Amino acid sequence: MSAQSAASRYGKSLAGCMHHARVAGDEPLQWTALHAPVLVLNASYEPINVCAARRAVVLVLKGVAMMEEANGHYLHAACIAMHVPSVIRLLEYRHIPHQTRALSRKNILLRDRNTCQYCGKILAAGELTLDHVIPRSRGGASTWENLVACCHSCNRRKGNLLPHESSMKLMREPRAFNLHTSRHIMRMMGRSDSKWRKYLFY
């Protein structure tokens, strides 16, 4: 048996073990403790993710991560007894690629918050279309920088004109949608957990 399949088999038996895991305390507390969010740090201590306590425990038991902070609950299962983590850290550094969302109609509308970028109306997705700022007929590409959410009436008005020719101004410069959001979300969650704070606010 290869090392990899041994590891995956070990992981599976741990997951099975976790199935019957109990956290000391009353019922609602048990559920909450195993589903509580856990901050995941890279080996470099850089915050990279948030996962459920249950998953964090499996990562610790598999030797992939170590516990940096406990959340105050104690876990009892057939094969283990340990503190439930609040912060874990990966033992091996993981390269995190720049997360860039795929260019799609859905993601353009998400970036532009369902707002027509010419008149500022907020509309349902079905009432919006995508406008090529530099029209395709004039060499405009289908890119993050050249596509914006647009209502049908502005789209008709603009036609094949460039924004300055139609005197229609964009509300803001369209940009690629990078996910800096995940760090923002971690910070929002970290505000309520003092154990996370020192890893998030620096």
Among 58, 109, 118, 177, binds Zn ion (CB under 5 A): 118
**Secondary structure percentages of the chain, helix, strand, coil, to 5:** 40, 25, 40
Q: Which is nearer to Zn ion, 69 or 112 (CB)?
A: 112
Determine the Cα angle at 186 with ends 182 and 191, to 5°: 150
Site residues for Zn ion, window 171-190 (CB under 5 A)? none
Q: Which is nearer to Zn ion, 75 or 116 (CB)?
A: 116
Q: Which is nearer to Zn ion, 127 or 181 (CB)?
A: 127
Determine the Cα angle at 149 with ends 146 and 154, to 5°: 100
- Of 8-16, 44-52, 100-108, 117-125, which segment contacts Zn ion by CB under 5 A? 117-125
Among 116, 128, 133, 147, binds Zn ion (CB under 5 A): 116
173: CB partners within 8 A, 6+ apart: none
At its nearest, how many Å lie between Zn ion and the CB of residue 153?
Answer: 6
Size of the site for Zn ion (CB under 5 A): 5
* Contact of 63 with 10, CB cutoff 8 Å: no
Task: Answer yes or no whether residue 151 interacts with Zn ion by CB under 5 A.
Answer: yes
Dihedral, 137, 141, 143, 145 alpha carbons, nearest 10 = -80
Query: Footprint of Zn ion on this chain (CB under 5 A)?
Result: 116, 118-119, 151, 154
